[in-house]
Structure 1
Amino acid sequence: MTPRIHFTASQAAPARAALAVLAHRYGNAELSRAQVVVALGGDGFMLQTLHATQGRDLPVYGMNRGTVGFLMNSYSADDLPERLDAAEETVINPLRMRATCADGTCHAALAINEVSLLREGPQAAKLRIHVDGRMRMEELVCDGALIATPAGSTAYNYSAHGPILPIGSEVLALTAIAPFRPRRWRGALLPKAAEVVVEVLNPERRPVMADADSRSVRHVTRVQIQSASDIRHRLLFDSGHGLEERLLREQFV
């Protein structure tokens, strides 16, 4: 029996074409009546879809019609109900970011992959790092730093030479981006429940922006990051190709 599927697609031509084919073959249920969401695009669109469907407790199954597809399954218009029925589910929690700006305003956002702090100008950023109320690094001079979830550890975190985290590891990666001092600092592994607070030192001369899954806040002075255990996202992957297997396989290429 075909479940009630809500199809959604990025604006890319291959994704829009796939949407037309799949909706014609399987129907396209309203989101309010759907039992599963099928997202057509790349990893960026998958993140958009997860944010857009937050709170509905619907599983999301992605099919790659974009340029990057680590969170996506291969595309095929055939046998979709059977693939959905056999799919493996992975539940992930996003990060909650609370950023305070130089003008005193506060901004909140959620990040499924990572929260990153990045220098805004030509001067290197100077950051002070606290973990669970205890100062762990008095001054990190760098282009930036990020806190990544296991699901996001193969994205920006991996490009910044951070570790790949097993999906069930219950840890977060704190990774420096082009560190100058301490020059050889490679970051830290933190408990998933840890509260990380990053202070920006000398923000007038060394402005810093905070970014949560591409939602940016400029001129921040203080950023608090913690796993949002009260929010969960359900991802579906083809049998034998789940997120845990993908993270493991990525370490041997």
Structure 2
Amino acid sequence: MNYYIYEHENDVRNSELKQQIHQKLYHIVTEPTQADLIIVLGGDGTMLDAIHELHSYNIPFFGVNCGTLGFLLNAIRSPEEIPHHLEELEYITEPLLQATVTTKDDRVSTIQAINDFVIAKLDRKEWISMKLSKGDKEKAIQGSGLLITSAIGSTGTWANERGLMLPTGNNLIGIMGLSTGPFSTLVTKHDKDISISLESRRPIHLDIDTNRMTVENIKKVDIGLSPKTYQLAFLSKAGTSHFHNKRLELFTKKMAQDF
């Protein structure tokens, strides 16, 4: 089996394990197109960067935790624990977030994200009137904006804002209000798209994956899940339980509100 290694060169965490993997792992290739498995060395942030850059190759990601929490990674101590056959692994398949965006001049575009979308204005002191609807359910709120996250993205900005980390494999979408008064968060299963209508005196924009891309002057966003997916790989001996159960435990301690 061929391996492609993804890491941040300036990340010195657990450098001894990284060095051992480079020295002892056979069949390391220099191009992801030649790989059967992408080995990600680092923390959750490194894994998210790897997914951003390489998910279009449709090759599973196997993370080696060289960081702290490691929600997206495997806890291994030596190169010998890295699998030699894809059949030794269990997989979590995750879809990308998808937004269909309508601007004030009625241009429509469809955009995917790995982590999250943020609806906001340059001056966050000014409120936006927002109407969220899903099927026959609606919520009208006012505030500085919204943070919309995937399960994978909930380890990042969402968690930093004290959102509950979402368990994977459930097609969940999280929506968090930014300075929205009594409205805090909701977590909903994607069985229908969520439509968000926006009104404000000044332009509103949509940030994709922490400013990797921005759409200006928007008036409506329809949020759903893309048919495009990627896979995270985990050791079968541990199963996906380590990753999934940590999230599920945190999530079920205080279930977030749905529509």
Distance, in Å, in 2 between the alignment partners of 1:105 and 1:66 is 42
What letter is aligned with 2:224?
A: Q
What letter is aligned with 2:199?
A: L
CA distance 1:127–1:16, change in 2 (3 Å)? farther
Count of matched residue positions in the alignment of Structure 1 and Structure 2: 244
Q: Deviations over 1:169-209 (max 9, x none)?
A: 333222212213xxx223333331322232331252xx433
Deviates more, 1:143-152 or 1:68-77: 68-77
User: What does 1:32-71 align with in structure 2 at a 5 Å threshold?
Assistant: 32-66=33-67, 69-71=70-72
**Alignment match, 2:246:** 246
TM-score by length of 2: 0.77
**Alignment match, 2:119:** 117
Superposed displacement of residue 91, structure 1: 0.9
What letter is aligned with 1:56?
A: Y
Distance, in Å, in 2 between the alignment partners of 1:42 and 1:106 is 36
Which of 14, 21, 25 aligns to 2:12? It is 14
Superposed displacement of residue 8, structure 1: 1.3
Superposed displacement of residue 102, structure 1: 5.3
Superposed displacement of residue 128, structure 1: 1.9
What letter is aligned with 2:228?
A: I
What letter is aligned with 1:208?
A: I
CA contact (8 A) 2:130 2:142 kept: no
CA distance 1:34–1:9, change in 2 (3 Å)? same
Q: Deviations over 1:189-238 (max 9, x none)?
A: 3331322232331252xx4332222224153323332111x211100134
SS in 1 for 2:49: helix
SS in 1 for 2:55: coil
User: Structure 1: which 5+ residue stretches go unaligned?
Assistant: none
User: Structure 2: which 5+ residue stretches go unaligned?
Assistant: 254-259
CA distance 1:8–1:159, change in 2 (3 Å)? closer
The CA RMSD over aligned residues, in Å, is 3.2
CA contact (8 A) 1:90 1:234 kept: yes
1:191 aligns with 2:189: yes
CA contact (8 A) 1:94 1:110 kept: yes
Identical aligned residues as a percent? 20
**Alignment match, 1:210:** 206
Distance, in Å, in 1 between the alignment partners of 2:160 and 2:102 is 27
Distance, in Å, in 2 between the alignment partners of 1:66 and 1:106 is 40
Superposed displacement of residue 82, structure 1: 3.7
Which of 229, 232, 240 aligns to 2:229? It is 232
Q: Deviations over 1:26-75 (max 9, x none)?
A: 24223122110011223222122113222332110112345663322335
